[in-house]
Structure 1
Amino acid sequence: MSGYATASRALSPLSAAALLGSLAACASDEPEIPTVDPNDLETDVLEPDGADRDDPQDSGGGVCHLLSAEEIETVIAEPVGKGEAMGELGEVASCMWPHPEVEHQGVSVLSISDSDIPGEELFDSIASGEPTEVGGADEAVFDEDSENLWVRSEETVLQLQLHAFASSEDEFGELAEVMVGNL
């Protein structure tokens, strides 16, 4: 037998022993990971999506919290459904309270703010109509032709629309006062 063959056979058992020794050493160096019984964990009760967003007293804000269906019904004497967020685009958010039985009838509110433009300047650039009084608001204008009420409170501009309701400027003003109070 040649020296090379003898050395190879001797290294094979030595290599195997070294490998087993390394594995054993690694196994003993691993930290022990404690196990947790899921039944022992404390959990927070989360409200499901679609929780009652009509209550302006709920925390979390959002445009749908500016009015409740009950507040709208009290002012316009027509039923409306729960406020549905219509989405956000940048710093513009909207909510719609649809009439439960009449398609294309409802109340909508847009909330517009811009971190780069002061509220007063933003209001002047987008609001149109004749000045009107809204309690708690910095300024407001009512556009009789498009039936829009624009309201500014500090840096936030709100647009209130009553779609397909026979409503007066007074009703717009009453709803706007509630919105400003819930900001």
Structure 2
Amino acid sequence: MPGPVTASSALSLLGATAVGGSLVACSAEEPEIDTVDPNDLDPEILEPEEARGGDPQRQGRGVCDLLSGDEIESVLTDPVAEGQAIGELGEVEACQWPHRQHDKSQDVQVLRIRDGEIPGEELFASIAHGEATQVPGGEEAAFNENTQSLWVRSQETVLQLQLSGFDAEEEAFVELAEVMVENH
């Protein structure tokens, strides 16, 4: 299992989200959004039960439950390990599915971001980057080809799917995001 390399990958993703959130938070027109400092996350892999915490609404619906390794493999046709919760800080949860043979260069990462004080529509508008696209079941979505990520709003929750090192087209992102929304 990759350990620190896995955690540092997720922390980089969370750091990018934090930077984006802090830049938007400076705008007078946007609501102030608490940012995530990746240095505040524990870099150890969390057990699935630990990642879910004690919130009864989240029991059995942790961020790693949004996709299964089999669902990812059926879309990407590459073998991935089961999802590993790699951190939770406030309103942000992260999970990673490393490639079975290339775990340092290829992985699937999902962030789930919720903020009880900011409506999902405003949260999505403040952090999602890319071209508008459609994800069945999602209220709105944006695909960013440069960062190989897809942002999706499902009710009051914003999800980010990132495929690192995979040669995937937008359709693969949409197919996986549809599964994530169904499992949300």
- Give the alignment's TM-score, normalised by structure 2: 0.68
- Whether 2:148 is the aligned partner of 1:147: answer yes
Pair member with larger Rg? 1
Distance 2:112 2:105 in 1: 21
Distance 1:62 1:104 in 2: 25
Report the counterpart of residue 170 of structure 1 in structure 2. 171
Report the counterpart of residue 100 of structure 2 in structure 1. 100
- Whether 2:43 is the aligned partner of 1:63: answer no
What 5-or-longer segments of structure 2 have no aligned partner? 1-46, 50-58
1:50 CA displacement: 5.8
Q: Partner amino acid for 1:129?
A: G
Q: For residues 62-96 of structure 1, what are the alpha-carbon distances to aligned partners after superposition, in whole Å with 9 as ceiling and x for unaligned?
A: 10000000000000000000100011000100000
Distance 1:128 1:60 in 2: 30
CA contact (8 A) 2:48 2:85 kept: no
Distance 1:125 1:157 in 2: 11
Distance 2:109 2:129 in 1: 17
Q: How many pairs were matched up?
A: 129
- Give the alignment's TM-score, normalised by structure 1: 0.68
Report the counterpart of residue 126 of structure 2 in structure 1. 125
Question: Percent identity at matched positions?
Answer: 58
CA contact (8 A) 2:129 2:151 kept: yes
Three-state SS of the structure 2 residue aligned to 1:180 is: helix
Give the number of the structure with larger relative contact order, counting CA–CA contacts within 8 Å between residues 6 or more apart.
2
1:104 CA displacement: 2.6
1:158 CA displacement: 0.3
C-alpha RMSD of matched pairs (Å): 1.5
Distance 2:85 2:118 in 1: 25
